[in-house]
Amino acid sequence: MHQLKNNLIKKLALLLLLMTFGITQSQELQSEILTYSEFLGYVKKFHPRIKQANLKLSEGEAGLMQARGAFDPKVEVDYDKKQFKDNEYYSVLNSSFKIPTWYGIEVKASFDNGEGIYINPENVTPNNGLTSVGITVPIGQGLWINQRMTDLRKAKLQIRLSEAELKLEAVEILYEASATYFDWLKAYNELKLYQNYLKFAETRYGGITKLIEFGDKPAIDSIEAGIVIKNRKINLLEAELKLTKAKLELSNFLWIENVPVELQETMIPDEDLQNTIGQDQPKTQIDGEANLLVNHPKLESLQRKIEILTLERKLKANSLLPKLDIGYYYLSEPSYFDNYRLEDYKIGVNFTFPIFLRKERGSLNLAKLKLQDSQLDLNLERLQLDNKMKAGRTEITALQKQIAITNTLVDDYKKMLQSEERLFSFGESSLFLINSRENSLISSQISQINLENRYLYSYANLFRIMAVLQ
């Protein structure tokens, strides 16, 4: 009867050794999952850097309003009066209403009134004042292109440039946020792995001590099993530290309104992310599109810069022309507008032309060089983006193959460990070999986690290169 009891205890001890791969499968944390798409949703909506990027677009709109202000009609009034010892020396009123137009032409209406005993004869007007209506036309420089026309066109291009830069900034922020999420998932998977293997080691240690009590195993095996437990505890502590750091890094991207939010302890990442990360994007965006580069915000940004530099080059080229402004104004007393006198008028001619044009020619050459430099940047960036996309797709395909091989390798190591444990139960193996098999399995699973992390990074990097908002 005593022998039967001892045999039963031995079988239970061996059973403890063989249960290691089933003991923790039903002990998963029942915690709330923060999915990858939900996390990015918070970043897109609330992160301060996204809001700062939106301010650039607002700056562009303010610049456009400012440029349009150069075409606003303008009212000017200048009134001077001098009274001394009951004498009115002079009283001069000059008022005007100006309307700037697109092609540099300016329409102007004015009313002048001057009187007094010491008034400058040039300012003397009829008793009812003097009105004038006329136009100033730039014949040479400033007719087809001028500063205010250029500023308005540049402001419109600046808005499109800001929109492209806003998308690029958002893509960059989402990539950085994605990296923190992937590192959090990696740290979480490593923590779970070492938690499981610590439980395996503790279970194995319990079985070994029972077998030692009945003289079936040498006492040295308990020391070796204890060493494994200590190593697993060290690994677990290191994994906990990595997870804490990863959570803090992730919290930098978690905001609600203007308040930073700390990740809750019970929150866990989406463990199935590897299988779902590419499902939210159309397959054509991952496999390539014929017109993808045409709409790329980086190329859009460079193209808008080229168009702005082209406007500046045209304005500099226009400065080589002589400046010749001709103005004609019809003069009349207020009551004379019902009876035109074409012989009452005022004309003016303003001519300016530098002899050597060194300043103008130098400015034009600099504008041409800047434009050529930007065009070379555009061609180079287009080629680099195309090659980066091809490299990104190639990397994803290669990592998929590596992950598939690693998965089979992990399965093989599991079978080897299970086989070694069965041999140990028959007395044909040793605890050293079991630990060796387990260490190989752990190394392969760590490699599996690292490969999955690289795979997620490669997907996010491809979205970053393609400027796709995930």
Residue-wise DSSP of 10-58: HHHHHHHHHTTTTSSTT------EE-HHHHHHHHHHH-HHHHHHHHHHH
User: Cβ(94)–Cβ(78) under 8 Å?
Assistant: yes
**pLDDT per position as a tens digit, 140-152:** 888 888 889 999 9
Q: Tokens 């007719």: give the residue.
A: 143
pLDDT value at position 441? 94
pLDDT value at position 88? 83
Predicted TM-score of the model (pTM): 0.82
**pLDDT per position as a tens digit, 313-353:** 999 999 999 999 999 998 888 875 566 777 888 999 999 99
pLDDT value at position 338? 65
- Mean pLDDT across the chain, nearest whole number? 85
- b/e per residue, 73-97, with b = 16+ CB within 10 A? eeeeeeeeeeeeeeeeebbbbebee
Residue 303: HSE in the Cβ half-sphere, 13 Å Cα cutoff:
12
pLDDT at 39 over 80: yes
Is the model more confident about 125 or about 6? Answer: 125
- Compute how many other C-beta atoms are within 10 angstroms of the C-beta atom of residue 183: 21
C-alpha to C-alpha distance for 433 and 268, rounded to whole angstroms? 35
CATH class for the domain made up of 2-47+148-316+359-466: mainly alpha
443 to each of 227, 399, 406, 414, 459, how far by Cα in Å? Answer: 18, 18, 11, 12, 24
**pLDDT per position as a tens digit, 205-239:** 888 888 888 777 788 888 888 999 999 999 999 99
pLDDT value at position 8? 46
The domain locations on the chain are 2-47+148-316+359-466, 69-100+105-141+321-356
pLDDT value at position 175? 94
Question: Where would I find the H helices in 292-356?
Answer: 297-318
- Maximum Cα–Cα distance for the chain, whole Å? 144
Please provide residue 272's backbone torsions phi and psi, each rounded to the nearest 5 degrees.
-100, 20
Residue 462: HSE in the Cβ half-sphere, 13 Å Cα cutoff:
24
pLDDT value at position 19? 45
Residue 246: HSE in the Cβ half-sphere, 13 Å Cα cutoff:
24
pLDDT at 287 over 90: no
Is the model more confident about 124 or about 21? Answer: 124
pLDDT at 364 over 60: yes
Q: DSSP letters along 416-453, please?
A: HHHHHHHHHHTTSS-HHHHHHHHHHHHHHHHHHHHHHH
370 pLDDT band, cuts 50/70/90, is very high
Which H or E run contains 7?
A: helix 2-18
pLDDT value at position 208? 84
Q: How far apart are the first and last CA of the chain?
A: 69
